[in-house]
């Protein structure tokens, strides 16, 4: 089976597992144990990971807080800032195509009395920084805009958004679960104050993540969302997941070394996949900007072919669709809807997410499989036949 769903999760890199292994076995110490070697070696490993993460995003190790993943990082960043700055305001700006880990947190704040502005995006999936600036008011305490989208791969104009936020004195959070390790991210160049990271989106283990929190120019205040032993300078209590943290650090180190080469290779494979699909199939369209896009993402609509049927027919390829199966109805993706993609087109959309271990042969197999499936499903489609003036209505 060919795995092309790397926006959902990535496999663990064997080098990451090798780095983690000692901490799953003999080196099992609690990083907070100060009295013996078991604790010291765990603490040392955690410190090394902090450095590896910081290096990848241009931060200082003291600005890294370990969490269980990007969902927790998003919760800590948004709720933590909203609470810490409650004396100054109650308005949060985000955008319509954020991950649920941001949108649902914002809805929760709204229920608690905050005001939330959800910026629209264009057909390309991008936020307009001018519209963001116009939305900033006296009581705005946070702007939260994702670095790269998990469905269409759109990379937001983060540096410009950051520059405006800095000028206006508003903390800027970015959910970078899809971007870190895939494209260059630098919290200083991008003027980012809080940044969410997830290990399992970058060939690290599930259940490990980090939140970058700026400590100077300006220092960002944060109210803890997890109280307890005062770990992570009081911002996130709980015994550290040492193997997971070691894995996240190693994953960052590998991405830092190999990102340039890997992203060029994946871009080539992605463009090859796109070219094959476009050459063999009519009435296909790409969702989102090709210019401002993650190199390993392709999101395509195949007119007249329901994504669910297409995925079923492509049984040897793991991909995702632009619709979410709920109990009875097939809801088109809110991301595509916010981009102005018609419901019909959204229901026929497939997300291809390429990754580190995909080969050219696998991509060719996936392309052939998609082409064959689309052609045979269209053969059976009265709608397609009608559109083509086929036998049914001649
Ligand atoms: C996967 C993802 C998350 C959630 O990350 P977890 O580590 O699984 O909690 C949040 N935001 C984006 C953009 C993601 O792609």
Strand 284-286 vs strand 140-144: parallel, antiparallel, or unpaired?
Answer: unpaired
The answer to whether the CB of 150 is under 6 A from ligand 1 is yes
Residue with CA closest to ligand 1 atom 14: 177
Whether the ω angle into residue 86 lies within 30 degrees of 0, i.e. cis, is no
Strand partners, 279: none
pLDDT band at 382 (very low <50, low <70, confident <90, very high): confident
Atom of ligand 1 nearest to the CA of 8: 1
Q: Please check the confidence at residue 332 and state whether its pLDDT lies above 50.
A: yes
- 198 and 146 Cβ atoms separated by less than 8 Å: no
The answer to whether the CB of 381 is under 6 A from ligand 1 is no
Per-residue pLDDT tens over the stretch 133-171: 999 999 999 999 999 999 999 999 999 999 999 999 999
The answer to whether the CB of 294 is under 6 A from ligand 1 is no
Strand 330-332 vs strand 323-325: parallel, antiparallel, or unpaired?
Answer: antiparallel
Q: Long-range contacts for 24-31 (Cβ within 8 Å, ≥24 apart)?
A: 24/243, 27/242, 28/242, 29/242, 30/239, 30/240, 30/242, 31/239, 31/240, 31/242
- Ligand 1 centroid to Cα of residue 48, in Å, is 24
- Ligand 1 centroid to Cα of residue 71, in Å, is 6
**How much is the CA Rg of the chain, to the nearest whole Å?**
22
Q: Is the pTM of this model over 0.95?
A: yes
Whole-angstrom CA distances from 284 to 21, 257, 386 are 45, 36, 17
Look at residue 146 in the predicted model and tell me its pLDDT: 98
DSSP single-letter state for residue 31:
T
The answer to whether the CB of 101 is under 6 A from ligand 1 is yes
Per-residue pLDDT tens over the stretch 166-222: 999 999 999 999 999 999 999 999 999 999 999 999 999 999 999 999 999 999 999
Distance CA 175, CA 390 (A): 48
Residue with CA closest to ligand 1 atom 9: 71
- Ligand 1 centroid to Cα of residue 335, in Å, is 15
The answer to whether the CB of 69 is under 6 A from ligand 1 is yes
Look at residue 389 in the predicted model and tell me its pLDDT: 80
Three-state DSSP at 197 gives: strand
Q: Which two tokens stand for residue 101?
A: 């880990």
H/E run at residue 213: strand 209-213
- By most ligand atoms within 8 Å of CB, the mutation choice from 9, 181, 201, 294 for ligand 1 is 201
Task: Label residue 4 exposed, middle or buried (CB < 10 Å: 0-12, 13-18, 19+).
Answer: buried
Per-residue pLDDT tens over the stretch 230-263: 999 999 999 999 999 999 999 999 999 999 999 9
The answer to whether the CB of 49 is under 6 A from ligand 1 is no
- Ligand 1 centroid to Cα of residue 101, in Å, is 7
* Mean pLDDT, all residues of the chain: 96
Look at residue 394 in the predicted model and tell me its pLDDT: 46
Q: Which residues are catalytic?
A: 325
């Amino acid at each position: 089976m060919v795995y092309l769903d790397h926006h959902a999760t990535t496999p663990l890199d064997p080098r990451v597992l090798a780095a983690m292994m000692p901490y799953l076995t003999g080196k099992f110490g609690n990083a907070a144990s100060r009295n013996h070697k078991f604790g010291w070696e765990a603490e040392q490993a955690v410190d090394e990971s902090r450095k590896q993460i910081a290096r990848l995003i241009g931060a200082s190790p003291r600005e890294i807080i370990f969490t269980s993943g990007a969902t927790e990082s998003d919760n800590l960043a948004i709720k933590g800032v909203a609470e810490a700055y409650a004396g100054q305001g109650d308005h949060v700006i985000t955008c319509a195509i954020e991950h649920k880990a941001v949108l649902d947190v914002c809805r929760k704040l709204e229920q608690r009395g905050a005001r939330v502005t959800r910026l629209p995006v264009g057909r390309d999936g991008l936020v307009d920084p001018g519209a963001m600036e116009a939305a900033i008011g006296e009581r705005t305490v946070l702007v939260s805009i994702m670095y790269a989208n998990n469905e269409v791969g759109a990379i937001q104009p983060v540096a410009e958004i950051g520059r405006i936020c800095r000028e206006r004195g508003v903390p800027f959070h970015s959910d970078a679960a899809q971007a870190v390790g895939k494209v260059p991210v630098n919290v200083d160049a991008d003027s980012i104050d809080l940044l969410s990271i997830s290990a399992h989106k970058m060939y690290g283990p599930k259940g490990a993540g980090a939140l970058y929190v700026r400590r100077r120019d300006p220092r960002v205040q944060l109210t803890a969302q997890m109280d307890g032993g005062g770990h992570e300078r009081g911002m996130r209590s709980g015994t550290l997941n040492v193997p997971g943290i070691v894995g996240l650090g190693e994953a960052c180190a590998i991405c830092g070394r190999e990102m340039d080469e890997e992203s060029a290779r994946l871009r080539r494979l992605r463009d090859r996949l796109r070219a094959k699909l476009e050459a063999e199939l009519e009435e296909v369209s790409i969702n989102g900007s090709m210019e401002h896009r993650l190199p390993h993402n392709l999101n395509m609509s195949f007119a007249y072919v329901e994504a669910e049927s297409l995925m079923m027919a492509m049984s040897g390829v793991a991909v995702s669709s632009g619709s979410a199966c709920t109990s009875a109805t097939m809801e088109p993706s809110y991301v595509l809807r916010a981009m102005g993609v018609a419901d019909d087109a959204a229901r026929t959309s497939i997300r291809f997410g390429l990754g580190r271990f995909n080969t050219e042969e696998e991509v060719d197999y996936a392309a052939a499989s998609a082409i064959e499936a689309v052609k045979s499903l269209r053969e059976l489609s009265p709608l397609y036949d009608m559109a083509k003036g086929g036998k049914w209505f001649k």
